[in-house]
A and B are shown apart, each in its own frame.
Chain A
């Protein structure tokens, strides 16, 4: 006999209790879900409608992939940091979306004739004010420039040794011991030196790291801002050109996950997605979003570091380096690795920059037979062994390296690969000169900077201190040349690096961004793919 249990009563009661429990659980969950949805649904409709109005009247929300390194231009980098910097700081010179230059806080500029590009004069705009209402004076400009040259950001290296001094009631003169033919570019918003910091900001640089203090069109709203996540900018009431302020508020959101960024754009939470990827283009188009492909911003390839043959004798031969170039099927790799945004590139730059040599485009066609012939001529008919390091956190570079190494294997070149975990680790290891080649995605830049960073014996990307006879002398001569000679001189230097095979470029990489319909002022098909947020409307 079963104790306390009858055939029907307790089991019936159990089912009833279970139903009640399940009902409570479902009711509770429904309440948790429905209550906010009921109020939130209204908010969604309201928010979507608001988002539509926002773009037109009050708020532009932009998604970027990483936060700025610092709000202090002297310690910021010129990656994502440029978006916040150009809102808060007015540069001396603006680089426009089409690559031309126009006045910012400087209304005009010129090199001092006969100075060999060592002295540069700026005329400062009258009537401009910082966000605290204080006037922008030549002394404030000079102090800011001199402070910048003491900074630790990556672009400060281009400004080391430059001295700024007040040279008139409205002028500032920059002097440099070495020729510098690209002062206008360095003083644009792209290289941060020209982002003038207010005297109040310079008095407290610790605060400046988190709170910008400039003369830009917008001011950081520190109450609404969450560092590393969301930066809210409101209008600067003292800005000298109010017609250039199109929004009451610009919000920059850090959304590191590209999928999350696209979903935020699709739901109207974001108006402009700068963390877009090639693989998302189809989805973005089918969602009715604007897809803007910009000009190439960077290129990817292999830098041949051991050009003096210290470790691998073969690499000292230009014939060998040319062979490595001829052995790579650039169109196939660019298509496979970089998709619609990649294009074959055999110059260590991209179209539109001063070192791009139009006559040398497609200089290295894919020709395995020619590559083998060159190796044989150099005395390496069976190939040779070398080493190459890259950063594992650059996924496309890794794929490209594997493809290139496979191609080189066909001509007998064996490559020992080393994957550093991050680009920082790679940069730290570079100076040790342990590997004869390195693969990096490299941003396009003026030839003057490229040579300084890559081809001089003291360059960061020249750990073996390789020196092409006459190259350095020709570089310094070109640097001090009159403006109408510089481009031709720089292109000649660039030709040397291409013809001598200093590097094996593989693909130029175009940029892409997604926007809600109705967002205007975005650049298209421009050299450098330059976006100025202040120009968006």
Chain B
């Protein structure tokens, strides 16, 4: 997916898959606190968050919390390695 920043990539992802929106964003448009976004192996909270600039070949991972020792989460929130810039 072509994108300049993490924010662009996430917006593009949600545009392609509208069902993901409520899983990733709260009603006020903020990324949900239980969804962590990584650029390669680095947490974007410790980069420039959604403004983090991407380079060719960077991998963005969306890593939601899962609770299961059995299972207790929604598979739709549970994909890692979702898109590549």
A binds B: no
List A residues at the B interface (Cβ < 8 Å): none
